[in-house]
Structures are given as structure tokens and as C-alpha cells.
Amino acid sequence: MAELFSSLQIKGLTLKNRLVMPPMALDNAAENGEITEEQIDHYTVRARPDNILNTGIGLIIVEHTFIHPKGKSHVRQLGIDDDAKISGLKYMTEAVHQEGVPLGIQITHAGARALYNPVAPSAEFCPHIIRNKPMTDPNDPPHELTVAEISDIIQYFADAARRAKKAGFDLIEIHGAHGYLLNQFYSPLTNKRTDNYGGSLVNRMRFPCEVISAVREAVGSDMPVFYRLGADDRLPGGTTIQDSIEAVPYFIKAGIDCLDLSGGICGYLKNGPEAFFAYMAEALKPVVHIPVLVTGGIKTVQTAVELVKNDTTDLVGVGRAMLSDPDWARNARKAVSPC
């Protein structure tokens, strides 16, 4: 039986405990996607250990970061789309590492949710996906990607992963949830293609698997690769937990080392009962042999403790509670092991 404040090994990376600050968009990068001092401060403050117990958060994953300018979803989103950004990102990894905390980064392409020139598996908007503004023409559907363009985007993911490794990140997380491009391919609500990238579940997961394989090749065999899976669209006609039970072995075979569970193709849910995605971990953890991370409205240390103790999940992501309270992880450790 694991404990919340026990260590976990993922490939060559040792986490001192099971608490994770998951990726959350801050909207405070420079307009071209460069890192800012404000962002660096945000992460280093939450990484800082408790002075007495000398522990705090086990892992931080940096917010979704665009791999190409055309895949950018909001104006001040962080970018990892060219080599010129490596030095700024390295400054951040070094600052967080000085606090003794591993740092990952989530990489993404917005697809139909892009600011400009949206692209998608199919030339139509899913009516449930929130479309960002401004756009070239909000009345036009997104451009349906050709096979050659899909290949280009796979390379963008690989290049971004290579940059992340060079910048000193400890792991890569590929964003396949919340209605962004990889989720758009995975979901039958947004993927209406009739070629090898659409139709059956095996075809709809082809692009995500090819991205995972390319990222794995780019970073080598030792660096952990996480995948944030939109495991349940939570809409009629969308992907279901049963689909994800069938799909996850393919993702593992392609090269992932940890499954980060989320859901809702409309985007991340901001309201709901505590641990509202725990049902996904209950269904998927028994059928995988890699660690599982679950997020979703987790607010109290008691809930986090129980999720690990009951073997519902291996890692617990505490997002908005930690966003509003930088001391959440330090206080949680004191609550579990008071002096």
C-alpha cells in the first residue's frame, strides 16, 4: 500500500512523493511565447520546500506550451517552437531544480482551437468546442489537415521535445485532452475523416500514437514521457472510458511511461465534486502497468491521501487549489506528518 508522501520511480526519475502540480495556463508569457520572470517566480515559489520537514511538492509540470506558432491557443501562451526559446526555458528549469523539485513540460498544438488559421482532422467545428478569438474568419471551418501536414506536425512535436530535453526538463507531457488537436483526432465528435486517420478507434488513435513514438525517439529511452489523455469526452457520441481502456495499451506500446487522466472535450472542468475524474483512474489503473496520475478538483490533503492509499492512482494532481495557495503542498506535508 503506497503512501502520498512515499517516493516513486519513473524510469530514471525519482519523485520524492506523489503530489503533482499539473499544467495550468497562466497567460503571462511574452506575446511571442518567451518565458517571463513572472512565470519563473510562479513555479519556484510552489517548488520551495518546507524549512522544517524539507519537503513539499513531488513534481511540477509546466503549462501547455505551443510547438508551432500556428498551434498557439492564446495570446500570452508559453512557446517551445524554436531553439531561441531554449535559454529562457533553461533558466526556469535551473531555478526550480535549485529547490529540489523535478520539472516537466506539457507540449501541445491547439488545432481547431488555434488563435489564427485553425486546423483540424476534419473541415468542421465541433459545436461543443470553445473557439478562440481572434480568428482570420470565425465563420470559416478549420482547414482539414493533409497527410503531409500531419507528418509536419508530428515533427513539430518531436522538435519541441528535443528542445525541452536540451532546456533541462525532467520529463515531457504530451497534451491529448481538453479539445486540442490530439484530442480532436481521438474523438469521433471532431474526427470525421475517411482515411487511415479517421473512422475506427484504431485509426483515430493513429496520430496520437505517431506523435508519442516521435517524441520517444527525440528524447531517447531514458527520459519519461507522460500523456494527458482525454479519457472520456463526457458528451453523447464521444469517446468513452471503454474506448480508452482499449486505446491505452497502444499508447503504452508507442512509448508513454505515465498516464495523466483528464476529460471533457469542451475543456477542463472548473467546477464539480472533489476528485471528479477519479472514476477514470478506477477504470484504467487496473489494466495498465505504468503509473497513473489523476487530477480534477482535488482540494484537500485527506482526499489526496485516500486516492493513493486506496490504490486508485499513483500520483495526485492538485491544480487550482495550489494555484490559489502556493503553500498547499508544504501545508499538506505538515498535516500528514506534523512536527
Q: How many CB atoms lie within 10 A of CB 131?
A: 15
Catalytic residue among 156, 180, 186, 268: 180
Tell me if residue 180 is catalytic: yes
Q: Do 298 and 304 touch, CB atoms closer than 8 A?
A: yes
The span from the CA of 176 to the CA of 333, in Å, is 31
Q: In angstroms, what CA-CA distances link 55 with 7, 47, 59, 275, 300?
A: 12, 9, 11, 24, 18
Integer Cα distance of 91 and 110 in angstroms: 26
Look at the block and give the residue holding cell 487549489. Answer: 321
d(CA 329, CA 339): 16
Longest CA span, the chain: 62
For residue 158, give the H/E element and its range: helix 147-166
Buried b (16+ CB within 10 A) or exposed e, 151-181: eebbebbbbbbbbbbebbbbbbbbbbbbbbb
Cα 53 off chain centre by: 29
Rounded to 10 deg, the angle between the 86-97 and 147-166 helix axes is 50
- The phi and psi torsions of 115 (rounded to 5 degrees) equal -60, -45
In 10 A of CB 114, how many CB atoms?
A: 25
**204 and 251 Cβ atoms separated by less than 8 Å:** no
What residues does 261 pair with on adjacent strands? Answer: 229, 294
What positions carry a catalytic annotation? 180
